[in-house]
């Protein structure tokens, strides 16, 4: 026991002779990238950009078409709801137009005080100034689907949507002419749909089942599929077809 204690004291007495351990000096960090590494990074970034840019552009076009189809569906819903709630008739008119921002589709909702004369309304051009409280008045703003055009022939969409399309939504031979209160400019809407106070939809020529409204991007070289809204003639309710 005494020997053990003596050894501990001896080690403690001479411990001051042992120099403290100095920390190892870390290796000097590299100051930058080599030329080969920089060129490799630039090549990867260029490749990623060449893949991402077309994909983002295509996504933007597809999103625009989906937005336009959704807005068209919403306008049809509003027109039908207004006809039912006000016990009146509402027209939905569509026309293609070209503005400063490019081609597009204009949509108007019109309240008609009386039922239309089916023998003349589709064949005789009419010019009416839309005034509040008049025989015909505009409901809500003039909607515009930007950078889009109408698909007249549903057969062009058959390969994509199959038999869910229904009948075509043909243009009227003359259309209805209206002057907007805001601008006073005459507009001719050649695709017309009427909603009755019971919510039913009417088009001419008359069609049963479903009516197809196709919207496609109008940009040159656009390849994304057109969007489609179908309207049930008996109920007036519409459905956005999904791919």
> pLDDT tens for residues 44-77?
877 766 665 454 444 445 577 888 899 999 999 9
Q: Give me 109's structure tokens.
A: 């909702």
Alpha helices in 86-166 (DSSP H): 158-161
> pLDDT tens for residues 76-112?
999 999 999 998 888 888 888 887 778 899 998 988 7
Q: Record the pTM.
A: 0.67
- Mean pLDDT over all residues of the chain? 73
Most confident of 19-33, 38-52, 116-130, 189-203: 189-203
pLDDT of residue 57: 45
Integer Cα distance of 78 and 81 in angstroms: 5
Q: Give me 169's structure tokens.
A: 């939504």
pLDDT of residue 14: 47
Contact 191, 94 (CB under 8 A): yes
- Give how far the C-alpha of residue 212 lies from the chain's centroid of Cα atoms, to the nearest Å: 18
**Mean local confidence (pLDDT), 136-162:** 81
Q: Give me 10's structure tokens.
A: 């001896």
Integer Cα distance of 118 and 112 in angstroms: 14
Exposed/middle/buried for 23, CB within 10 Å: 0-12, 13-18, 19+? exposed
Integer Cα distance of 151 and 69 in angstroms: 12
Residue 177 has pLDDT above 60, yes or no: yes
Which of 141, 143, 140 is CA-nearest to residue 72? 143
Write down the domain spans for the chain. 62-240
Q: Give me 157's structure tokens.
A: 């969409």
Which residues are paired to 177 by β-bridges? 127, 188
């Amino acid at each position: 026991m005494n020997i053990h204690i003596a050894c501990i004291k001896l080690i403690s007495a001479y411990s001051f002779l042992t120099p403290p351990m100095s920390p190892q000096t870390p290796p000097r960090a590299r100051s930058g990238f080599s030329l080969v590494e920089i060129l490799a990074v630039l090549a990867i970034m260029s490749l990623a950009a060449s893949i991402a840019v077309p994909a983002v552009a295509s996504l933007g076009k597809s999103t625009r078409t989906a937005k336009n189809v959704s807005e068209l569906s919403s306008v049809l819903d509003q027109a039908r709801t207004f006809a039912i709630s006000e016990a009146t008739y509402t027209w939905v008119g569509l026309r293609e137009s070209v503005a400063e921002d490019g081609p597009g589709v204009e949509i108007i909702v019109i309240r008609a005080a009386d039922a239309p004369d089916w023998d003349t309304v589709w064949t005789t051009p009419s010019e009416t100034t839309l005034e509040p409280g008049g025989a015909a008045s505009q409901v809500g703003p003039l909607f515009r689907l930007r950078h889009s055009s109408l698909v007249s022939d549903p057969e062009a969409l058959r390969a994509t949507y199959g038999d869910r399309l229904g009948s075509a939504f043909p243009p009227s031979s003359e259309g209805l002419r209206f002057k907007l209160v805001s601008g006073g400019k005459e507009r001719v809407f050649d695709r017309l749909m009427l909603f009755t106070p019971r919510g039913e939809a009417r088009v001419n020529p008359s069609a049963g089942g479903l009516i197809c409204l196709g919207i496609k991007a109008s940009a040159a070289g656009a390849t994304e599929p057109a969007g489609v809204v179908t309207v049930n003639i008996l109920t007036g309710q519409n459905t956005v077809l999904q791919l």
